[in-house]
Chains A and B, each alone.
Chain A
Amino acid sequence: MIFTIKVNGQAHIVDVDDDTPLLWVLRDVLGMTGTKFGCGMALCGACTVHVDGVAIRSCVTPIDSVGTSEITTIEAIGATVVGARIQKAWLDREVVQCGYCQSGQIMSAADLLATNANPTDAEIDDAMSGNICRCGTYARIREAIKQAAAT
């Protein structure tokens, strides 16, 4: 089936089955590989993107559910005020190790701060516990979110 989806402000026409997860449309069809595959079952958060500003797991989001929504990925999140702040905090706090999960972490954090400018520790835990980091960078993610919130 032919779908027209809007990613990072640009329209793209893709021809895939209607149940194809958005993740694979982004990565394999459109070549936007910043969004990562981790589990395929919405268990790890590596594939997190925004649909109309809300963080979703693209590995379980069928393309036919996206419609005309605005999709934002890690490649463009730096263009938002919150996204840029978060990326800066991630660098300032030396969050990253292997880096594979960090696209998803940043997208979850960006959704959190866009809706809650000053989250408590518990709210950060709630928003971020769907994102697994195997390198164990959680403490620094928490600090970076607080830094981004404070700027």
Chain B
Amino acid sequence: MIVDQQAPRVSGPSEPPSVNTLSRRNFLRAGAAAGGGLVLSLRLPFATGEAEAAADNVFTPNAFVRIGSDGKIVLIMPYVEMGQGTYTAIPMLIAEELEVELQQIRLEHAPPNEKLYVNPLLGIQATGNSNAIRGAWQPLRQAGAVARNMLVTAAARHWNVDPTSCHAERGEVIHEATGRRLSYGELAAEAARMPVPENVALKRPQDFNLIGTPAKRLDTPAKVNGTAVFGIDVRPPGVKVATLAQSPVFGGRLKSVDDTAAKAINGVRQIVRLDDAVAVVADHMGAAKKGLEALVTEWDDGPHARLTTEAIAAELDEALLTPGAVAENIGDVDHAMAGAATKVEATYRLPFLAHATMEPMNCTVHLREDGCEIWVGTQALAKAQATAAETAGLPLDKVVVHNHLIGGGFGRRLEADWIARAVEIAKHVDGPVKVVWTREEDIQHDMYRPMFAHRLSAGLDGMGMPVAWNNHYAGSSVIARYLPPAFNNGLDPDTTEGAIDLVYDLPNLHVEYVRVEPPGIPTAFWRSVGPSRNVFVVESFMDELAAAVKQDPVAYRLALLDKTPRAKAVLALAAERIGWGERLPPRVGRGVSLQNAFATHMAQIAEVEVAKDGTVRVRRVVCAVDCGTAVNPDTVAAQIQGGIIFGITAALYGEITLKDGRVEQGNFDTYQILRMDEAPNIEVHIVQSQELPGGMGEAGTSAIGPAVTNAIFAATGKRLRKLPVEASALKQPV
């Protein structure tokens, strides 16, 4: 398989193939390809809530399989590759049923196209929420099976034999009795005239050749020899490089700029003043950065000039005292609480977090009077195009977006703020301009994982088991801004995921959410989104309950899992594999967490060592996962390993704070990322399963935080209810 790094075309697949048949289930159509051959059009879900929208009767395909008369098989699909292995796992689904080698499939990224790709309910074309495989699992295998069936039918007709006497193998149809063969390329044009079969059986799991077998990532060779092209690497002829400073306080304005010194710098071409930002355009980034440092800039800080994170935290605490929207209610919590033998209460606090993708924000724009071309790496192609069009004041069809490999997404590149910025700057520049953010700008003008506060209370019966569970929490709803139709009655699926539908059998449960939007700091999705907070809270509190009645935290959880056998199985497996219950040296402890998030069941047990000075080192993590069918098991393991590192970074170091309205962190010295000498040994155990595949990009991240803090409790007796870990609180008493 060949991975296209750039998909410069906006025509081609955006023109629907001539439709001749509509399948009964309305998920797929077949027709003739423009240059001869067979095209299947299908619809893959994109994002949260889209599965529901698919019930809509309007067929708006967004993925295409083209089998050309030249034998080339091209899959055009809307998901983007950002390290999660989607460019390998998705083609595996179609290759499995189509009976071709993975290497025979060429992948092209779908271009933005409002008509074809925008969901009528959500208006979004995006890769996120760990749902690519979940969405593509059924439709892509069906498309492969349908195409195979049509190719076999075409061959049988050609030979005038019964189709059941033929079979498909490695891109050919073979007539078994005579050994005659025709390649898919030879058959494609004829296959396009065959009726679309309505019921094609999919392979049984035991017959899979590709699915479930580790496959080599196919986008990697270019990433080890310097030839992979990320957005930041594009160099259209005549491109200038710009870097910028935005108002250090969100909502502030640019008051004045003295650019005398900057303009004198060799290579500096132009200073661009915007309402709330200033940019230096130069021949290269070295000159642009030097120019930016030489500017003497005054800002009007605006209404948030005195804002602090403490003030936002106080607002959240206040909101915990006000009623919110009921996310889940089971039984009668108040009644159960009144009769409880023991009561436990705790308040948890989670910080703002930056994404800090390794590739800083960047976007290259060539704005002309009659059109706009942009080069970028985005998780949300249609949003990128729409934002550029709106900022440029151009119709959508005048904006061409070239999407590229993404040097880390984690939710940051679901936004388009930096694309709007680049277009604003390009309005002042003659010719193409690449706008590259410094790391400081990237961290100080991110859109952040929101700060949250949760107040938990529980009532335990005489045996110590929970009979009442109350979770009241407050913070920002990213969905309310990003996908307004998905925010209903004060709730959205992201802020509640991991707080409701718990794996535990709790007879009386009440979960209530209060939406509080912080002033002066934008919020956004961040790897593992809602569960990154909710799992920390739920699993910390569950640990507290076990501790309150002096029970083993694993046994305590297992006793609550009779109705969720998949959760119980992963917890038991993780405990067995780490050797739960072994004696450990002083200041070493193990902590557990369990979750069902992104339709994946996962248990993690972390082993930590807390030094005398309070420094925490995560030594080992054992993860047991049941993600249903593991399409590419090696990618599953890689995503868990990486997700755990991402989550440890957040647990130990991650915090964005505001002082005088300004983000106090700026680069990797003040916003630390876990390094190799701190990375634990991670063991991943994948449960063999034939269930539907679950999401894998984020689950590892949400599970690790509470496993670490629960392990710190085991090692020190100190319960941490606020992230990140405060090492000074863990010093060994003298």
Q: Taking beta carbons and an 8 Å cutoff, which residues of A are in contact with B? A: 16-17, 19-21, 23-25, 27-29, 31-41, 43-44, 46, 73-75, 78, 87, 90-91, 94-103, 106, 124-126, 128-142
Instruction: Check if A129 sits within 8 Å of B286, measured CB to CB.
Output: no
Cβ 8 A contact of A43, one of B266, B634, B646, B669: B669
B83 at the interface (CB under 8 A from A): yes
B733 at the interface (CB under 8 A from A): no
Contacts of A17 in B (CB 8 A): 265-267, 286-287, 290
Q: How many A-B residue pairs have CB under 8 A?
A: 198
Instruction: Check if A40 sits within 8 Å of B226, measured CB to CB.
Output: no
Give the CA-CA distance A132 to B356 in the complex, in Å: 11
**Known contacts A39-B668, A43-B669; A138 and B638 CB within 8 A of each other:** no
Binds A, one of B8-16, B112-120, B214-222, B708-716: B214-222
Residue of A nearest to B644 (CB): A136
Give the CA-CA distance A38 to B299 in the complex, in Å: 27
**Known contacts A17-B265, A33-B235; A99 and B284 CB within 8 A of each other:** no
Give the CA-CA distance A36 to B226 in the complex, in Å: 9
Contacts of B221 in A (CB 8 A): 91
Q: What is the CB-to-nearest-CB distance from A51 to chain B, in angstroms, rounded to a whole number? A: 17
Instruction: Check if B667 sits within 8 Å of A96, measured CB to CB.
Output: no
**Known contacts A34-B227, A139-B681; A134 and B286 CB within 8 A of each other:** no
Q: Taking beta carbons and an 8 Å cutoff, which residues of B are in contact with A? A: 82-85, 216-217, 219-230, 232-233, 235, 241, 265-267, 283-287, 289-290, 356-360, 405-410, 436, 438-439, 634, 638, 641-646, 667-669, 673-679, 681-682
Contacts of A99 in B (CB 8 A): 83, 219-220, 222-224, 228, 405, 407
Give the CA-CA distance A31 to B673 in the complex, in Å: 29
Residue of A nearest to B674 (CB): A136
Contacts of A139 in B (CB 8 A): 641, 679, 681-682
Contacts of B286 in A (CB 8 A): 16-17, 20-21, 23-25, 28
Cβ 8 A contact of A33, one of B219, B233, B678: B233
Q: What is the CB-to-nearest-CB distance from B77 to chain A, in angstroms, rounded to a whole number? A: 19
Contacts A20-B287, A90-B220, A133-B645 known; 5 new A-B pairs at CB < 8 A: A28-B286, A31-B235, A135-B408, A137-B638, A140-B641
Q: What is the CB-to-nearest-CB distance from B624 to chain A, in angstroms, rounded to a whole number? A: 17
Cβ 8 A contact of B668, one of A32, A44, A103, A129: A44
Q: Which 7 A-B pairs have the closest CB atoms?
A: A34-B226, A136-B645, A100-B407, A99-B223, A98-B83, A97-B83, A28-B284
Residue of B nearest to A128 (CB): B676
Q: What is the CB-to-nearest-CB distance from B636 to chain A, in angstroms, rounded to a whole number? A: 12
Instruction: Check if A96 sits within 8 Å of B285, measured CB to CB.
Output: no
Instruction: Check if A87 sits within 8 Å of B676, measured CB to CB.
Output: no
Q: What is the CB-to-nearest-CB distance from A87 to chain B, in angstroms, rounded to a whole number? A: 5
Give the CA-CA distance A78 to B266 in the complex, in Å: 35
Cβ 8 A contact of B679, one of A23, A34, A40, A136: A136
Contacts of B679 in A (CB 8 A): 136, 138-139
